């Protein structure tokens, strides 16, 4: 962190007043992303230990900037310490803009227009800036070649199919992979392939798109990146909109190359499949293998895309074993369970002591509310309640008799009800509520239990309750085992 503050102060000649980690460190890349603020300026600092990948991002950024493409300006760098400082593009990604404004399958016009602007910029990366790019700095490969494809297919096979328990014949699947690879490599591949062209890597500032996370870029086919954006799992774009945006991309692309649409489309859906498999491999590795459950929330949307493809697309090559594996995924009870869970909003409710740090959100959404119950009457001050908790009937009866407690809960539930309704409308999957008091045993426990009780009656809401200080007390007892969270079915 010190190296980022030093870079900031050297560049802006201003001390750092605020340092705030962003959600990127909860993502799949392993990079730490930090916002630094000082004076009237802010910047984004990156800490990451892979020098070659950092070097690729920095050189690509400067190259794209030279071509007038909307990418972050690089302010300062220290590759020896895995650090660099870049322009702060705000907090609104294309994915967040879509999520905030959509209602189910209904995507409003302003979101469609944002996607159209993004799509229209893609050929400038692929062709205009790709012509004179230094591909020698690409990491880990200079092109999306046979080796790159093999890595992606094996990632899918071993970290998704295997860990999800989908049966397949390994040798027969390898034959299909070989045929698919040969077909993918028969497309024109002399273009810049962004590699991770998806809605979370595109920021919107004043309605205009800015682009991030192209450090894995290399030479490749035109089809890959547009497939990445349109079949971005959690974005869950309706098929009709995907087709409209694909048409807009092809219309724009025709201004850069001599485009034969039938030739482009011959390979397009094969690239859709390879991109979906690459993403599923990542979800499986992070979710099944590393047990980071929020990555598995994208799996049902990827399966939805596969279901549509299997019903609507016929590839020019036969891949029977791979298609059987896809059918097995769609029929899997384990994966169907993920689909069922993905429809719910999970509300995690904590009680804790203000004498300790707040509970940390691990869902990837950044947390929700912390309510302080210390202004309420404290049962812990009365001898009769000292050995009890907010889950015991005498304490509950005492707090139920306090008007101030009822007013507090009414205000809390008014806010929480509105937030839950909005999160469900926007199809978000996690919300965290924390209740504090002095010792974390009476008022905070009572409040957490009361709010959990009310939320358990809502459709599509799963409630998980954790009482941190009570769990700590249990764990300190001789022979005690670790407490498990109390989980409610929707």
**Cβ proximity of 469 and 440 under 8 Å:** yes
Q: What is the DSSP letter of 204?
A: E
- 66-93, pLDDT tens digit by residue? 999 999 999 999 999 999 999 999 989 9
Question: What is the chain's mean pLDDT, rounded?
Answer: 91
Asked if residues 155 and 279 have their Cβ atoms less than 8 Å apart, the reply is no
Q: pLDDT tens for residues 429-461?
A: 889 999 999 999 999 999 999 999 889 878 788
Angle of helix 299-312 relative to helix 261-284, nearest 10 degrees? 150
Question: Nearest Cα to 224, choosing from 272, 168, 169, 175?
Answer: 272
Distance separating the N- and C-terminal Cα atoms of the chain: 42
User: Which domains, from first to last, does the chain contain?
Assistant: 2-87 (3.30.200.20), 94-341 (3.90.1200.10), 344-488 (no CATH)
Q: Which strand (E) or helix (H) includes residue 461?
A: strand 461-467
pLDDT tens readout for residues 405-430: 999 999 999 999 999 988 888 778 88
At 76 the three-state DSSP class reads strand
* Residue ranges of E strands in 10-149: 18-21, 32-38, 41-47, 74-78, 83-87
Place of tokens 């300026």: 41
Which residues lie below 8 Å from residue 256, measured CB to CB, with a gap of 6+?
A: 123, 124, 126, 127, 128
Q: What is the pLDDT of residue 104?
A: 76
Q: What is the pTM of this model?
A: 0.75
Tokens describing residue 364: 């990837």
* Six-digit token string for 73: 């300006």
Beta bridge partners of 117: none
């Amino acid at each position: 962190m010190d190296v980022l503050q030093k870079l900031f102060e050297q560049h802006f000649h201003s001390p750092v007043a605020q340092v705030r980690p962003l959600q990127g460190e909860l993502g799949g890349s392993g990079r730490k992303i930090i916002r630094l603020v000082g004076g009237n300026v802010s910047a984004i600092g990156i800490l990451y230990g892979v020098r070659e990948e950092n070097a690729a991002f920095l050189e690509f950024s400067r190259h794209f900037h030279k071509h007038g493409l909307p990418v972050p300006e690089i302010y300062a760098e220290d590759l020896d310490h895995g650090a660099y400082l870049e322009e702060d593009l705000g907090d609104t990604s294309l994915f967040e803009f879509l999520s905030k404004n959509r209602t189910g399958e209904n995507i409003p016009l302003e979101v469609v227009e944002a996607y159209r602007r993004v799509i229209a910029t893609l050929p400038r990366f692929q062709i205009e800036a790709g012509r004179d790019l230094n591909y020698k700095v690409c990491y880990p490969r200079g092109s999306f070649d046979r080796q790159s494809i093999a890595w992606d297919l094996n990632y899918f096979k071993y970290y998704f199919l295997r860990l999800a328990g989908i049966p397949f014949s390994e040798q027969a699947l390898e034959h299909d992979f070989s045929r698919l690879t040969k077909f993918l490599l028969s497309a024109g591949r002399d273009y810049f392939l962004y590699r991770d062209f998806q809605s979370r890597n595109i920021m919107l500032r004043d309605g205009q798109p800015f682009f991030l996370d192209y450090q894995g870029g290399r030479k490749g086919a035109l089809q890959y990146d547009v497939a990445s954006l349109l079949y971005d799992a959690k974005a869950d774009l309706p098929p009709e909109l995907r087709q409209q945006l694909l048409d807009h991309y092809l219309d724009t692309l025709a201004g850069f190359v001599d485009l034969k649409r039938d030739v482009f489309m011959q390979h397009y859906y094969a690239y859709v499949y390879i991109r979906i498999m690459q993403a599923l491999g990542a979800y499986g590795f992070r979710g099944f293998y590393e047990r980071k459950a929020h990555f598995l929330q994208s799996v049902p949307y990827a399966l939805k895309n596969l279901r549509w493809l299997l019903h609507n697309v016929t590839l020019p090559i036969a891949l029977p074993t791979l298609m059987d594996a896809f059918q097995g995924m769609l029929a899997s009870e384990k994966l169907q369970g993920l689909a069922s869970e993905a429809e719910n909003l999970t509300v995690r409710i904590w009680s804790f002591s203000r004498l300790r740090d707040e509970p940390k959100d691990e869902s990837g959404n950044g947390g929700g509310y912390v309510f302080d119950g210390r202004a309420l009457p404290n049962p812990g001050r009365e001898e009769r309640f000292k050995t009890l908790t907010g889950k015991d009937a005498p304490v509950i009866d005492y707090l139920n008799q306090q008007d101030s407690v009822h007013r507090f809960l009414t205000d809390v539930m008014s806010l929480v009800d509105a937030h839950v309704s909005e999160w469900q409308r926007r199809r978000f999957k996690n919300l965290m509520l924390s209740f504090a008091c002095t010792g974390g045993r009476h008022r905070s426990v009572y409040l957490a239990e009361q709010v959990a009780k009310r939320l358990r009656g809502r459709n599509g809401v799963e409630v998980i309750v954790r009482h941190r200080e009570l769990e700590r007390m249990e764990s300190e007892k001789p022979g005690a085992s670790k407490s498990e969270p109390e989980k409610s079915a929707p």
